Amino acid sequence: MAERGLIDGILQGMALRSAAFIVTVYGDVVVPRGGVLWTGTLIEVCERVGISESLVRTAVSRLVAAHRLRGERLGRRSYYRLDASAQREFDQAAGLLYKAEVPAQGWQILHAPDLTEDEARHQRMGHMGGAVFIRPDRGQPLPEGALVFRAPDPPELGRIGQFWDLSVLHQRYLDMLARFAPLAEAGAALSDEMALIARLLLVHDYRGVLLRDPRLPQAALPPDWKGHEARALFRRLYRQLSPAAERWIGAQFEGSDGLLPEKTAESEARLADLSRTTS
């Protein structure tokens, strides 16, 4: 089918990791609908993107061990819900994906001698040298043992971008735009099932780069920066795919109390937030 070819084109070069994709399924579909999903439904969804049943079961076991999912049995069936310890992380990711951007109020300049470069990248900090790091000030909690100096925007704001490797993020955004541009025309014509798969892949790809983006102010970004264009494409496609995708959820996704609802107050709030946000 033409729509299967469209999905295969999106998948080309994505190199999906099973655990990360399962996190996407829970974050986008399951969490706003009570948080519980039958393993059989998860296996079927993952099979549509080339992730085998054995990989799903291995990934779920690892997510349970990492306290991100928690299992329960009802009769002969296994169900998994989001572990309470992972809720804050999911809420933060959902806020970035679906809600309007929170403007930064100046900058945090941190002296953090115990912070590794990997930890700094995970927290989207720029490295100024030695034990000194910088990030836009959005009221984030400080790393343990860090000292912070809060500063307004400097006169030469355009030079701040040098403390991040923005070229990697820029390429990720370019790849996303190329991968999902065909959906802008085909999205409304997809079957309910393929609309859901396309939406999950859209969320997965965009989340993967957005959670690494320091979200610098416009004046600190390169003139050809594609992050805002990617944001606009994500908003447009998510809204376009959602009516069909949510019909499939309501017809096929099973939780411990039966089929998950097609829509909830939380899922509707996400769509409303996406309609209000601007680049």
Looking at residue 111, its pLDDT comes to 93
Taking the CA atoms of residue 218, residue 221, residue 223 and residue 226 in that order, the dihedral angle to the nearest 10 degrees is -90
Q: In whole angstroms, what is the distance from residue 207 CA to residue 217 CA?
A: 19
Nearest residue to 168 (alpha-carbon basis) of 110, 116, 124, 229: 124
Looking at residue 279, its pLDDT comes to 43
pLDDT over 90, % of the chain: 64
Mean pLDDT of the chain: 90
**CB count, 10 Å around CB of 95?**
12
Looking at residue 13, its pLDDT comes to 83
Contacts of 48 (CB under 8 A, 6+ apart): 7, 193, 197
Q: Of residues 252 and 186, which shows the higher confidence score? A: 252
Look up residue 256 and give its DSSP letter.
T
Looking at residue 91, its pLDDT comes to 81
* Domain spans of the chain, in order of start: 2-99+167-276, 107-151
Nearest residue to 46 (alpha-carbon basis) of 165, 200, 266, 250: 200
Site of tokens 């927290």: 123
Looking at residue 82, its pLDDT comes to 83
Looking at residue 265, its pLDDT comes to 96
Look up residue 29 and give its DSSP letter.
I
Give yes or no for residue 185 having a pLDDT over 80.
no
Instruction: Read off the pLDDT band of 274 (50, 70, 90).
Output: very high
Classified as helix, coil or strand, 142 is: coil
Lowest mean per-residue pLDDT among 59-73, 141-155, 207-221, 224-238: 141-155
Q: In whole angstroms, what is the distance from residue 252 CA to residue 240 CA?
A: 20
Looking at residue 243, its pLDDT comes to 94
Q: What is the pLDDT of residues 89-139, one digit of tens each?
A: 778 888 889 988 888 889 999 999 988 888 888 889 999 999 999 999 998
Contacts of 54 (CB under 8 A, 6+ apart): none
Lowest mean per-residue pLDDT among 32-41, 99-108, 170-179, 194-203: 99-108
Say what the pTM is: 0.92
Q: In whole angstroms, what is the distance from residue 152 CA to residue 217 CA?
A: 12
Q: What is the pLDDT of residues 12-24, one digit of tens each?
A: 888 899 999 999 9
Q: How many CA atoms lie within 13 A of 120 on its CB side?
A: 25
User: Which CA distances in Å does 190 have to 149, 182, 195, 203, 263?
Assistant: 51, 12, 6, 17, 19
Looking at residue 273, its pLDDT comes to 92
Asked whether 184 and 233 are in contact (CB, 8 A), the reply is yes
Instruction: Read off the pLDDT band of 187 (50, 70, 90).
Output: low
What residues pair up with 126 in beta bridges, in sequence order?
A: 134
Q: Of residues 9 and 184, which shows the higher confidence score? A: 9
Choose the CATH number for 2-99+167-276 among 1.10.10.10, 3.30.420.40, 3.40.640.10, 3.90.700.10. 1.10.10.10
What residues pair up with 136 in beta bridges, in sequence order?
A: 107
Give yes or no for residue 146 having a pLDDT over 60.
yes
Looking at residue 86, its pLDDT comes to 76
